Amino acid sequence: MHILIAPNAFKNSLTAQESADAIREGLIRSGLNCSTECFPIADGGDGTGRLIVEKCQGLWHEYNVHDPLGRIIRAPVGIIDQGKTAVIEMADASGIRILREDERNPLKASSFGTGELIRYALDRGVKSIVIGLGGSATVDGGIGILSALGVQFLDVNGKHINALSENLKYLNSVDLSEIDQRIFDCRITVLCDVDNLLLGSNGAAAVFGPQKGARPEDVPVLDAALAKLSDCVFKLNGKRMNEIVHGGAAGGVAASLNALLDAELLNGAEHFLKLTGFSASLKNADLLITGEGSLDEQTLQGKGPFAVAKYAKEKGIPVIGFAGKVPLIDQPEMNKYFNVLLAIGNQPEDLASAMKFTASNLIRTAKAAGSLISLLK
């Protein structure tokens, strides 16, 4: 038996690679007569870019950029495809993991550093840029990125406003006259791990603002700021930012890059698997094991485990899913893609405690699964 191990990261606990290693260790301990391949996956979330560069045997180059609060940090640009393509992780320059919990405030956090990374990629002469949006600290509609590329945001008097969400209430127009023209000679691909629209109750501010430190009273302010940006972009080029699927990703970055730079917004998981040659590894598999922190109906909205399970089921390969949390009630839609769902916890405990033992729980659950398979062979 050949088992392909392709988990996503277990958020805030294990990377995708660490998760895959733990599952393989459990299978080894079970004594199951099998071969394995670890193929850690990502879906546009934090860590996607790193896995792409590693799988494509690319190189990293580090640069000085500004973090979400304007401090100088080092952040990387990955180069693949013989120097033709740059890979950028928004989380590396503008990520929530950069900030202490008491520093998180999307009204004052900027995506400017990610724009600086894009500029550095252009300096290297790339013809394509892939951007992973997961893990951002911002709800600025991408104005920080655009500002780094030369876009001007002007008030009613034609004066430049600082590119922060809290200043968007003063926005009257968007000026592209000084934009770095090289960006239009470069294909921009944005990997999204959510499909939310920009505005409203399911939009960037309402859904993701609180996760990034927004207080309840900040959410309507952020939504109004993004609405003002959307109105100004519509006046500029007639594009409706709130109608763009995936537009709410990374606090509206996806919508602005699509509307102003003609960036292509893609499901992160599907594009990741295509870039990294997942299908070739799946050809040899008799069983697929995947997983992430929670496997439920939201998984079917384009998350990484769903993408690999769909590929496997199309080829008649059975799928086992490991997760910290699985549905209590049978889910017919989940059953179409996952033969078995296994919760890795072994006793009642709070989330923080459970996350400390993710690795050991994965090893134990994989060992049990391997032992069971051995009995049935």
pLDDT digits (tens, 9 = 90+) for 224-252: 999 999 999 999 999 999 999 999 999 99
Between the alpha carbon of residue 2 and those of residues 32, 38, 243, 269, 342, the distances in Å are 11, 11, 44, 23, 20
pLDDT at 309 over 70: yes
Collapse the DSSP code of 27 into the 3-class scheme (helix H, G, I; strand E, B; otherwise coil) and give the result. Answer: helix
Tokens of 317: 């390969």
Instruction: Write down the pLDDT at residue 297.
Output: 85
Type of residue numbered 243: E
How many helices and strands, by DSSP H and E, does the chain display? 13, 13
What is the pLDDT at residue 15?
92
Residue 12 has pLDDT above 90, yes or no: no
Which of residues 376 and 84 earns the better pLDDT score? Answer: 84
What per-residue confidence (pLDDT) applies to 348?
64
Return the percentage of the chain with pLDDT > 90, whole number. 88
CA–CA separation, 186 and 124 (whole Å): 12
Q: What number is the average pLDDT over the span 331-357?
A: 83
Q: What distance lies between CA 203 and its chain's CA centroid?
A: 16
Give the predicted TM-score (pTM) of the model. Answer: 0.90
Which single residue is written with the structure tokens 């409706």? Answer: 240
**Residue 330's pLDDT band (boundaries 50, 70, 90)?**
confident
Is the separation of the CB atoms in 167 and 140 below 8 Å?
no
Domains of the chain: 2-40+286-376 (3.40.50.10350), 48-269 (3.90.1510.10)
Residue pair 344/324 in contact by the 8 Å Cβ criterion: yes
Six-digit token pair at 28?
A: 């080894």
* Mean pLDDT confidence for 280-292: 96
pLDDT band of residue 352 (cuts 50, 70, 90) is confident
> Angle between the 218-237 and 249-261 helix axes, to the nearest 10 degrees?
10
Q: Are strands 287-294 and 2-5 parallel, antiparallel or unpaired?
A: parallel
Q: What is the DSSP string of 185-221?
A: GSEEEEEES----SSSTTSIIIIITGGGT--TTHHHH
Q: What is the pLDDT of residue 194?
A: 83
d(CA 56, CA 58): 5
State yes or no: pLDDT of 350 exceeds 80: no
The structure tokens listed for 77 are 């640009």
pLDDT at 195: 85
pLDDT in tens, 178-226: 999 999 999 999 999 888 999 999 999 999 999 999 999 999 999 999 9
Instruction: Write down the residue that tokens 């100004």 correspond to.
Output: 232
pLDDT of residue 221: 97
* pLDDT tens per residue across span 14-57: 999 999 999 999 999 999 999 999 999 998 888 899 999 999 99
Mean pLDDT confidence for 246-264: 96
The answer to whether the beta carbons of residues 265 and 254 sit under 8 Å apart is: yes
Mean pLDDT for the stretch of residues 160-177: 96
- Spatial contact of 205 and 222, defined as CB atoms under 8 Å apart: yes
pLDDT of residue 279: 95
Tokens of 361: 């729980």
Asked if residue 135 has pLDDT above 70, the reply is yes
Q: What is the mean pLDDT of the chain?
A: 94
